[in-house]
Structures are given as C-alpha cells and as structure tokens.
Amino acid sequence: MVKKKNRWKTLSTAGLLSALILAGCGNSEETTKEASGESGEKSYQVGITQIAEHPSLDAASVGFQQALKDEGLEVEFDTQVAQGDQNNNQSIANNFVSDQVDLIFANSTPSALGALNATKDIPIVFTSVTDAVGGGLVDSMEAPGGNITGTLDNHPDAIPNTVEFIDKYFDIDTIGVVYNSGEANSVSQIETVKEVIEGTGLKLAEATVSTSAEVKQATESLVGKADVLYIITDNTVVTALESVVQVATDKKIPLFVGELDSVARGGFAAYGFDYNDIGYEAGVMAAEILKGEKEAGEMDVQYPQNLKLVINKEAAEAMGVELNPEWEESAEFIE
C-alpha cells in the first residue's frame, strides 16, 4: 500500500465565492496572507516520491528539504514511499499531478521515470539516478530538455577507482556482483564494470534478483565463484544489504559497496560520497526553479562533487582483510 502523509485540501465552490466576496469588500490583505502562508511569503507544495526506504535515499531526501529551507522558501512537503512496488510508484506520481504540486522531487531512477510518465508540465528534480541519459530521463547532461533535471549518484571515477583498487591490492580472479536486472541504473553500472575490467585479467560473476527477498540466496550462489563481492548502488540489493554482509562475513569474502552508507552498514570499502550532499544540490536547483529563476530542462544535470575512499576497519577484520599501510594516505577509516 502506498504511504500517504499530507494531502492538500482544495477550496470548495462556496469557499472560493466567499473569498472573492471578501476580496471585494477590502479584505485583500487577509486573503493574500492566507494564500501565501503566515509569513506573507509564497508557500509551495512539493511532492517527494521515493522508491524505497534505505539510509542513502533517506539522506538524500533530508538534504533536499534542508536546501529549500536554507534558500528561505516556505514549502509544504508530501513524502511518499513506494516500498519497491512499481504500481505504487506510478500511483504516487499520478496523485502528485492530481494535487497540482508546484514541483516533484524524484528520489531514484524509477521514481523519476514514474514522475516523467505522469507529467510533462510540472517541474521534476531528481537525485539518486545513475544514468539519466541512458535511463531515458534527459536528452543530455548539458541540456536535459523538457521539465526535468537533477543530480546523479554516479561519480564517473567511482567504478574505475574501485576496480583499480581491487586489481592492485587483491590477488584475485573474479568479482561477484548482485543486482536487479530490471533497474536501468544497475544495468548501466554493471556494463561500466565490464568495460573497466577489460584488460585487467579480472572476470565477473553475476547473480540477478527482482526483489529484496532474493538477495541472500543470490549472494550465496556466488560463494566459491567470486573472490570479492561488489554491490553497486542498486536499490533492491542495498535495501537488503545486511544479508550480503552476513554472507561476506561468514565466508570471509571482502565486500566492496557503491556508497558510503553501505560502508557504515557493514561493507568493507567504497569510493563514494554523501547522499545528503546530492540531495542538497538537487534542493538548490529546485529552489531556483520555484523562484522562477530557471527552467528545469535548461539546467545541467550535476555529478556528485566529492568522491572519497572510506574503509570499515571492523568489517575488514570480519572478512579477513589485512589493512595495507599504503591505504592510510588515501582513505578515511571508520571503526
């Protein structure tokens, strides 16, 4: 079932007539204040659609809302989570269009696609999207077109740096990956991994899932085939990351992940960035759109600004990874 939080009430016919009568009687100041909010500033309605609940996406939503607050806008948010269900996902977007929100914040590729299917008029700002062009969201990074723009959760150096790190410091043959083949951003990342490992001598062992309930069994299927595991920023798999961590720990297989929240949840290492940051950057873009300063389709899609290597010392020990002194120069460590 779709989560429904705040729903906006529309004025009844009688209420509208009353407002017009009052305005005609010299009460325009009170009417304006009611439409604009207590502060007298214009109040905006923003719908937040999120495909699932997990720390990275949650952090992006928090960052987005904080940016609009910092920009001084008075905003009423309606946050709805699809719980991984595509039917819910589309219904959420359709409801926002019916509610005539001022802007839709789409947190994930499926969320953005659902919003774009629902409206070509209401501005859409996305984040947590890996390949906006390949996913069919925008025409190009520099000129998105239409009513949509946003920030990516895919730094162009993240996957190459991860593969290079594995190849340099681990004497292995095969990298194991688990992903949802129905997620466009996941397929794009896996294709990038395949391209990057060409010429390294490394091989890829793949296991695909369609739901989070399948993640543990899929991970177990890679035991004996993969020397390390690499979980990209796949919403389905990351939602069930603890089951991957359990297998990696039990079988002493180093687990690389695609974002920093997954390191904190038990992954060994990641080249990543803070999802709060990309949500915040998307919020700044949304503020410019709401203020009428820019059109969504004219704003460049943005990459994450800060990429860093983070290593979980406790996870390293649990997975049998001996820390290399050279990593002290390039990595941040968490216990």
Give the type of residue at 184: A
Task: Provide the pLDDT for residue 184.
Answer: 85
CB 50 within 8 A of CB 111: yes
Best CA proximity match to 92, nearest among 119, 66, 74, 73: 119
Q: If you average pLDDT over residues 178-194, what whole number do you get?
A: 93
Residue 63 near residue 277, CB atoms below 8 Å: yes
Distance CA 80, CA 72 (A): 23
Question: What is the number of other CB atoms lying within 10 angstroms of the CB of residue 299?
Answer: 20
Neighbours of 280 (CB within 10 A): 23
Query: Residue 84 pLDDT more than 60?
Result: yes
Pairing of strands 148-152, 124-129: parallel
Please give the model's pTM, rounded to 2 decimal places: 0.71
Looking at per-residue pLDDT, the higher value among 163 and 10 belongs to 163
pLDDT at 15: 39
In angstroms, the CA 223 to CA 285 distance is 44
* pLDDT value at residue 176: 98
Q: How far is CA 156 from the centre of its chain?
A: 16
Average pLDDT over residues 186-193: 94
107 burial class (0-12, 13-18, 19+ CB within 10 angstroms)? buried
Cβ neighbors of 168 (< 8 A, separation 6 or more) are none
CA distance 48 to 78: 6
Q: How far apart are CA 52 and CA 112, in angstroms?
A: 13
Q: How far from 75 is each of 9, 167, 171, 265, CA to CA, in Å?
A: 15, 48, 53, 32
105 bridge partner residues = 48, 125
The whole-angstrom separation of Cα 293 and Cα 299 is 11
Is 93 a residue whose pLDDT tops 60? yes
| pLDDT bucket at 106, cuts 50 / 70 / 90 | very high
Q: Is the pLDDT of residue 7 over 90?
A: no
